[in-house]
Amino acid sequence: MSETIKKIGVLTSGGDSPGMNAAIRSVVRTCAYHNIECAGIYRGFQGMIEGDFKEMGPRSVNNIVNKGGTILKSARSKEFMTPEGRKKAHDNLKNAGIDALVIIGGDGSFTGGLVFNKEYNFPIMGIPGTIDNDIFGTSHTLGFDTALNTVVEAIDKIRDTASSHNRLFFVEVMGRDAGHIALNAGIGAGAEDILIPEENLGLERLLESLRKSKTSGKSSSIVVVAEGDKIGKNVFELGDYVEENMPEYDVRVSVLGHMQRGGSPSCFDRVLASRLGVKAVESLLEGKSNFMVGLLNDKVELTPLEQAVKGHSEIDRELLRVSEIVSI
Amino acid sequence: MSETIKKIGVLTSGGDSPGMNAAIRSVVRTCAYHNIECAGIYRGFQGMIEGDFKEMGPRSVNNIVNKGGTILKSARSKEFMTPEGRKKAHDNLKNAGIDALVIIGGDGSFTGGLVFNKEYNFPIMGIPGTIDNDIFGTSHTLGFDTALNTVVEAIDKIRDTASSHNRLFFVEVMGRDAGHIALNAGIGAGAEDILIPEENLGLERLLESLRKSKTSGKSSSIVVVAEGDKIGKNVFELGDYVEENMPEYDVRVSVLGHMQRGGSPSCFDRVLASRLGVKAVESLLEGKSNFMVGLLNDKVELTPLEQAVKGHSEIDRELLRVSEIVSI
Amino acid sequence: MSETIKKIGVLTSGGDSPGMNAAIRSVVRTCAYHNIECAGIYRGFQGMIEGDFKEMGPRSVNNIVNKGGTILKSARSKEFMTPEGRKKAHDNLKNAGIDALVIIGGDGSFTGGLVFNKEYNFPIMGIPGTIDNDIFGTSHTLGFDTALNTVVEAIDKIRDTASSHNRLFFVEVMGRDAGHIALNAGIGAGAEDILIPEENLGLERLLESLRKSKTSGKSSSIVVVAEGDKIGKNVFELGDYVEENMPEYDVRVSVLGHMQRGGSPSCFDRVLASRLGVKAVESLLEGKSNFMVGLLNDKVELTPLEQAVKGHSEIDRELLRVSEIVSI
Amino acid sequence: MSETIKKIGVLTSGGDSPGMNAAIRSVVRTCAYHNIECAGIYRGFQGMIEGDFKEMGPRSVNNIVNKGGTILKSARSKEFMTPEGRKKAHDNLKNAGIDALVIIGGDGSFTGGLVFNKEYNFPIMGIPGTIDNDIFGTSHTLGFDTALNTVVEAIDKIRDTASSHNRLFFVEVMGRDAGHIALNAGIGAGAEDILIPEENLGLERLLESLRKSKTSGKSSSIVVVAEGDKIGKNVFELGDYVEENMPEYDVRVSVLGHMQRGGSPSCFDRVLASRLGVKAVESLLEGKSNFMVGLLNDKVELTPLEQAVKGHSEIDRELLRVSEIVSI
């Protein structure tokens, strides 16, 4: 099938993440390396529907390997959920001579790609781009490592002020369905406790842990809370609850928010993006379709997209234990 | 009077700010340079009341010039607002042989110092340490420059994701009474609009400004909002209001929070802290009291503490105009 | 004369510095604000000779306020030193309808501009852009503040390894003719000694200072050396010399090099660039020429370009003293 | 054997690396978690010989997880290479009641540990701490990830100035025997070429690659060179050679130097350090000895120390290919 692919389209979809630009660059240059054409598709599936394409050569992606965000922009597309929308998209791809797609995004984007593939037998390949690391089939999603560094740097700053005032801080980090960011950044930032969606040990245990922390002689404390934790209170209510029950603590709350999605990618994410981009294009050229390229045991591997979408990226239970020990 | 001063106490009080440690280091080493003793007083005025002192020599402050927060910690002290509390504090100082005080902090700390000075004729010198830059008698408070860099770096990250999604972001920064951070960081971060306590042009003007921004072809926008802005809505209500009135915008809100107080100080703040510490100690040794050392026209100058407390640090109106022009 | 100016050209010349892009953005947008045209001139005077111009509107400078380097690029031009070269340049400007120039650069660039102005009575305005801070008529050149932060962050890292091994490090920083970077960054980084072109106290004093540092109980030491120091040995020879004379020290040398010129500008440099750009354009529109816009006593002021070129930016002697005290 | 271990000593040895403090913290707290004592040993094996020990509890390692360098300091010890030295060390350990050792360092430190173990049957466990990533039995050494980020951030800054001036930069990074840093940071920084010890394709190929880069339209270029590359010229000679043979290039050289060893560790290194510290202590408590704890396929695993010392950490050949493709 590789002979039939003369031009690959690349798009970013869903929430942006650091490393997407490095992946775009890699896709574009791998196309050039193999002497096939490449088109950038703006604003994800919506740009496919609107025919918002741009021819891209190796020089189109100069000086973007270190930039956060995505030069191709991202958007949600309700229209792509309709057969009419996908028909338009397909017509545009055909008119532009695009034979295959590299989709950089998360679960939702991959699902959209699968539907499109089923209807039009259009070759697609996925690259996992999201800071949440919640995709099955890869140990690291693009942007996860960068987000962890962003979070620990922010909490390091909060720690300065926390320990100057002997305060207890609740810091909310991203992760609606997955505690990967909270768990890793919590250990990295030396958090006294970490609350994640995958595990709800209840309010009473939290109070106990904080009491222990206090009696152990700690003068300040940080609790890292994933957005999607299941403790039954949002992070502000949680702060109030703890302050009521432990008046010895001066409690503050900080929600790190959208800055977690941005920033210049870490070296890890840039290298990962470069590797995944090469593999995605070369896999398409080998006639493969409906796979996600990912990192497994430090090697770039393919996982069927359906599995990537259905599977669940479990947190590492060892880390929960490590967190408990090192926060003593 | 300089002969009578044999030992200087140094404390940090109020909200901590980057550069406080560099100032402590400078005070301690200037004392050593002039062969007088120095004592660190923990947790501000409260530590004075509790006699929580520590002898400090030049080696006590190794490797802290680049650390955020304050190694002497800070705290509020209700007891110091009472004559009894201040009596205890004075007794402790006398017992420890401390002859003079350097107070690193903001308005409230200086006021406390003035009261103490009046009662006991105790020599004091103030160093302005707060990120808000809201102190009269210095163009820059310790920590202001660092906080500006922290804020623009955070907004740079938010900009990545804002421009990937064509979104409008409201970013709240610190500044309850003063717009210095919002104004400078807003210009630095390329904000489309800036809302500060010193000026309330109303909601209608904001909408108009955002409309103009949209028609000028901007695909994403950032509005920087000082905590203490007077537009009549908190930043979340503001976001909702704008989204209702301008459905063409996809609005997000981010509150940067306490990370603004932390972090390794900028070179500017480290140099400023070093200069102010030297001047504070040497002014005490020259027999001066009740002054604040500050930066005026790039020179270290003394301002009577009473003036520093009563005066108001005005924002630079030129910056408002610059902001309007460069955000076109 | 302001009526005669319909189109302003802007160029960057000489060594690049962080904040140049923010200044370009400010010049371009101030032109738009006043409804006059603006052209970017590539590669400094060489681009003027080659007619390498590009029309720039407010959207041409989106998302560059935080970028290091210069989107207009910079280059040296031998041809511009000849009357023929300048003739070509003038012809190109006239053909392009450009009436006035904003030159962002250093001494050499301003001198070139003055010659050009004399020959063709062409209105010019200078913006001081160089990390060295060696220009008369401004307390801060564009990029100086950023370079200081880059240097102290690098030395902070070196300090980590220096104090882990009890080593003595000589760190060379930029500054061929001026010690501004060395002096400020040296204080900021907590250097034990600072060597600058403006002052040569000789090798013996250096050894003595290091001996004192050792006996005072310091376990590691950093000496910051300006490129242009006059001690008579380059930094590697200096390291060897000290190691020979003080075998108790394990000496290392590090030359920070070109990374000092790059990086995202600090908030200070972005705000300064914005202010200077506005003033440069508005001064041209008011009919002024042959001035440099700069920062004096925190205000934007004009200095005749000839003075800026002839004058010398002195180091602040107070800082030398502060350095001596705080490194005790 | 676990019953016999009542007190573990921990030391850092060899070149320091970011994450060593986080590992110390983890070792100390894991000891506390298991109710055994812990002693910090200063300056590596030399401190063992001198009996320079300090009892450490969980609060001894507060606020160090994010600090570069090593609070236990590091040093070379010639004396430890003699039987007499090791005898002294053993006596001191026995006197202090230390039953087992955790050695954080590289190959040389492990070899020293093995000799000591053979002579005294003293339980030891190694944690790989070096930025070079040149240790067999772990995919990542402590500090490697942080060093990569430090290097790409420095090269990003150099890129700013390189592309402003259309220059060619040779940037030397650490790695005497291994190209891991050069290869990964080279890809991450978007280098046009990468020279590593493991592969010497010769000067002619380099010139060709640079010529291709030039004709492909690139305006600036970065070549990343490992210290230990085998091309037969040092990096300055290399720059001269290329400039002679390709006068169209304006060549500059930058040696990043010791800053690569320092800095606050990345989240990756902090988490890795935490995991390795827990495993090292618990393995000793399980009666194991003479192993190195490392990361293999994202899991913490044990490798016999002898293998770790003898084996060679190969570079990933896939990365060489990725580098060739994405630099097109």
Q: Show the tokens assigned to A10.
A: 């690349």
Report the alpha-carbon distance of residue B178 to residue B201 in Å, rounded.
16
Q: How many CA atoms lie within 13 A of A319 on its CB side?
A: 27
Shared domain check, A159 and A125: no
Identify the CA nearest to B113 among candidates B293, B309, B296. B309
> Does B325 reside within a domain?
no
Residue D248 has pLDDT above 90, yes or no: no
Edge-first strand order for the sheet with A221-226 is A193-195, A221-226, A168-173, A251-255
Top residue of C16, C64, C132, C259 to mutate, by most chain D CBs within 10 Å, is: C259
Distance (Å, rounded) from C-alpha A293 to C-alpha B46? 59
- Helical (H) or strand (E) element with A85: helix A83-96
Contact C126, C292 (CB under 8 A): yes
Kindly state the average pLDDT of the residues D25-40.
98
Contacts of B66 in chain C (CB under 8 A): 152, 156, 159, 189-190
In 3D space, the residue among C327, C290, C326, C328 whose CA is nearest the CA of residue C310 turns out to be: C290
Does the annotation count A229 as an active-site position? Answer: no
Examine the domain organization and report whether D217 and D69 are in the same domain.
no
CB contact under 8 A, A270 and D300: no
- Cα separation, B57 vs A303, in Å, equals 62
Q: What pLDDT, on a 0 to 100 scale, did the predictor assign at position D200?
A: 87
CA C152 to chain centre: 16
Residue D319 belongs to a domain: no
Which amino acid, one-letter code, is at A156? D
What is the arithmetic mean of pLDDT over A298-314? 96
Catalytic residue chosen out of the listed positions A16, A52, A91, A132: A132
Surface-to-core class of residue C217, CB atoms within 10 Å of its CB (0-12 exposed, 13-18 middle, 19+ buried): exposed
Residue of B155, B164, B171, B254 to mutate, interface with A, max A Cβ within 10 Å? B164
- pLDDT for the residue C3: 57
D29 is in an annotated binding site: yes
Q: Which of D16, D52, D91, D132 is catalytic?
A: D132
Q: Are B170 and B239 in contact (CB under 8 A)?
A: yes
Measured between CA atoms, the residue of chain A closest to residue D160 is A63
Look up residue B244 and give its two tokens: 């209702």
Among C279, C293, C306, C290, which residue's Cα sits nearest to residue C101?
Answer: C290
As a 3-state breakdown, chain A gives helix, strand, coil percent values, each rounded to 5, of 45, 20, 35
Report residues of chain B scoring pLDDT below 50.
1-2
Is C106 annotated in some ligand binding site? yes
Whether residue D184 is contained in a domain is answered as: yes
Whether the predicted interface score ipTM is above 0.90? yes
* Residue D63: CATH number of its domain: 3.40.50.450
CB contact under 8 A, B275 and C145: no
CA dist A319 and A280 (Å) reads: 31
How close does chain C come to B97, measured CA to CA in Å?
24
Instruction: Report chain B's mean pLDDT, rounded to a whole number.
Output: 96
The identity of residue B61, as a single letter, is V
Spell out which residues of chain B touch residue C274, defining contact as CB-CB under 8 Å: 187-188, 322-323, 326
- Residue A148: list chain D partners with CB under 8 A: 266-268
CA atoms within 13 A on the CB side of B58: 23
Number of domain units in chain A: 2
Rounded-to-integer distance, Cα A253 and Cα A234, Å: 11
Q: What six digits make up the tokens of B214?
A: 């949209």
Among the listed residues D34, D22, D29, the one whose alpha carbon sits nearest the alpha carbon of residue D57? D29
The β-bridge relationship of strands A193-195 and A221-226 is parallel
* Beta strands at C7-12 and C37-41: parallel, antiparallel or unpaired: parallel
D219 pLDDT tier (thresholds 50, 70, 90): confident
Q: What gap in Å lies between CA C57 and CA B202, rounded to an integer?
A: 29
Do the chains contact at B258 and A258, CB–CB below 8 Å?
no
Residue B177 in contact with residue B228, Cβ under 8 Å? yes
pLDDT at position D3 is 57
Domain shared by A7 and A122, yes or no: yes
Alpha carbon distance B158, B180 (integer Å): 21
Q: Does A33 map to a domain?
A: yes
Task: Kindly determine whether residue C62 and residue B218, on different chains, have CB atoms separated by under 8 Å.
Answer: yes
Residue A221 has pLDDT above 80, yes or no: yes
Based on the domain organization, do A185 and A216 belong to the same domain?
yes
Q: Are residues B151 and B133 in the same domain?
A: no
Establish if A316 belongs to a structural domain.
Answer: no
Q: In terms of C-beta density within 10 A (0-12 exposed, 13-18 middle, 19 or more buried), how is residue C95 classed?
A: exposed
Q: Are both A197 and A224 inside the same structural domain?
A: yes
Same domain, C65 and C168: no
The answer on A150 and A129 residing in a single domain is no
CA distance A151 to chain D (A): 9
User: In chain D, whose CA is at the least distance from the CA of C69?
Assistant: D160
* Residue B149 lies in domain: 144-261
Contact between B185 and B224 under an 8 Å Cβ cutoff? The reply is yes
| CA pair distance D135, D313, nearest whole angstrom | 5
User: To the nearest whole angstrom, how far is the Cα of B91 from the nearest Cα of chain C?
Assistant: 31
Beta bridge partners of A302: A293
B38 beta partners? B8
Q: Is C223 within a domain?
A: yes
Determine whether the annotation assigns residue D27 to a binding site.
Answer: yes
Residue C40, pLDDT score: 98
The pLDDT mean for chain A works out to: 95
- What pLDDT, on the 0 to 100 scale, is given for residue A196? 96
> A173 with A26, same domain?
no
Distance CA A326, CA D27 (A): 8
Chain-centre distance for alpha carbon A310: 17
Residues B241 and B291 in one domain: no
| Cα C65 from Cα C26, distance rounded (Å) | 9
On whether both D270 and D227 belong to a single domain, the answer is no
Strands (E), chain B: 7-12, 37-41, 53-55, 100-105, 124-128, 167-173, 193-195, 221-226, 250-255, 291-296, 299-304
Give the helix/strand (H/E) hosting D10.
strand D7-12
* C252 carries a ligand binding annotation: yes
Of A135, A123, A124, A127, which Cα lies nearest the Cα of A23?
Answer: A127
Phi, psi of C33 (to 5 degrees): -60, -35
Neighbouring chains of B at 3+ CB pairs under 8 Å are A, C
Bridge-based pairing state of the strands D299-304 and D291-296: antiparallel
pLDDT at residue A175 in the model: 95
Q: Which residue is closest to B30 within chain C, CA to CA?
A: C325
Collapsing DSSP to helix, strand or coil, D97 comes out as coil
Q: Is residue A250 part of a domain?
A: yes
Separation of first and last alpha carbons in chain B:
58
Chain D residues in contact with A59 (beta carbon < 8 A): 216-218
Q: Are B320 and B183 in contact (CB under 8 A)?
A: yes
Contact B188 C271 (CB under 8 A): yes
Chain B: give the shortest CA distance to residue A64, in Å.
12
Angstrom distance (rounded) from CA A295 to CA A293: 7
Residues B73, B160, single domain; the answer is: no
User: CA A119, CA A81: separation in Å to the nearest integer?
Assistant: 12
Q: Smallest CA–CA separation between D177 and chain C, in Å?
A: 20
CA distances from B210 to B192, B194, B325, C65, D279 (A): 8, 11, 14, 20, 56
Q: Give the CATH number for residue D208.
A: 3.40.50.460
pLDDT at A130 over 50: yes
Search chain B and give the residue with CA nearest A160. Answer: B69
> Per-residue b/e over A141-159, b at no fewer than 16 CB within 10 Å?
bbbbbbbbbbbbbbbbbbb
Inter-chain contact C262–D160, Cβ cutoff 8 Å? yes
Residue B153: which of B198, B191, B185, B110 has the closest Cα?
B185
Place of tokens 């063409």: B248
**A51 marked as binding residue:** no
| A/B interface, count of CB pairs below 8 Å | 115
Selection from D128, D104, D143, D130 nearest residue D265 by Cα:
D143
- Among candidate residues C16, C99, C132, C229, the one labeled active-site is C132
DSSP label of D179: -
Domain assignment present for D25: yes
Please, what sign has the CA dihedral across residues C303, C306, C308, C314? negative
A327 contacts in chain D (CB < 8 Å): 29
Give the separation between CA C295 and CA A112, rounded to whole angstroms: 55
Nearest partner of D164 among C178, C105, B157, judged by Cα: C105
The identity of residue A254, as a single letter, is S
When pLDDT is cut at 50, 70 and 90, the band that residue A2 belongs to is very low
How many beta-carbon pairs under 8 angstroms link C with D? 114
| DSSP line for A293-325 | EEEETTEEEEEEHHHHHHS-----HHHHHHHHH
Residue D1: per-residue pLDDT: 44
Regions of chain C short of the pLDDT cut 70: 1-3
pLDDT at position A3 is 57
Element housing C277 (H / E) = helix C267-285
CB-CB under 8 Å, B188 with C278:
no
Task: Give the residue on D whose Cα is nearest the Cα of C152.
Answer: D259
By C-alpha distance, the chain C residue nearest D71 is C164
